[in-house]
Amino acid sequence: MWQNFKNGFIKENPVFGLYLGLCSSLAISTSLNNAIGMGMCVTIVLIFSNVLVSAIRKITPDEIRIPVYIVIIATLVSIVEMIVHAFMPELYDSLGVFLGLIVVNCIILGRAEAFASKNPIGASAIDGLGMGLGYTFALVLISVVRELIATGGIAFYNPFDATQIIFGFNIEALAPYTVSLFSGSVGAFLTFSCFAALFAFIKQRSAKKEKEAKK
């Protein structure tokens, strides 16, 4: 069970390992606030959708299982969207349409079909948590690099009060060398490509070690 949790970070990282949810990952990872906000929303939806799918897996006919999963996911996303809109309006405005588009995020439907529909509730909840945190981890890595190169600093604001900075810093030595390109789509693809290559290297090296250990 806990192996699935750990796999979500490196071996089966949704973004860098499975290449799922790339549209929202690249679009909203312009700042650390957006990355953590979207990551937490996706994690919440993943956990609860996995739990609900697992709970009804034995009574859901195979012929209609996908529509049932989509209804569950859409309902959860609507609830999360309303909560964010009510209590974190700045984050809601920042994430824009991508918050509602969590419904069509391949990670959520993929885990419901591949794992939650075949496993008990506890294991499904852990799987959702691992995948959600793995997704958040990927967004944070991308956003930190992009924000640092584009602005020369990092800032994280209180999601409930955008005027309150929880932590932040600027590197004065980077100020003359900031590259605004990284705040756009080209910078997003460049950052993602570098991390995807790094994760592929780590996975390949790990697989090689496991193979040698079995000899």
Residues of the chain with pLDDT under 50: none
Domain that holds residue 78: 2-214
State how many domains the chain has.
1
Give me the residues paired with residue 167 across strands: 156
Angstrom CA distances, 153 to 60, 88, 149, 168, 200, stand at 50, 23, 8, 7, 28
Task: Give tens-digit pLDDT for 75-129.
Answer: 999 999 999 999 999 999 999 889 998 998 889 999 999 999 999 999 999 999 9
pLDDT at 59: 93
Site of tokens 């705040």: 183
pLDDT of residue 4: 67
What is the per-residue DSSP string for 164-215? EEEEEEE-GGGGGG--GGGGSHHHHHHHHHHHHHHHHHHHHHHHHHHHHHH-
pLDDT at 132: 93
Length of the chain: 215
pLDDT computed for residue 124 by the predictor: 94
Give the Å distances, CA to CA, from 81 to 12, 48, 96, 100, 115.
Answer: 27, 14, 10, 7, 25
State residue 215's pLDDT score. Answer: 66
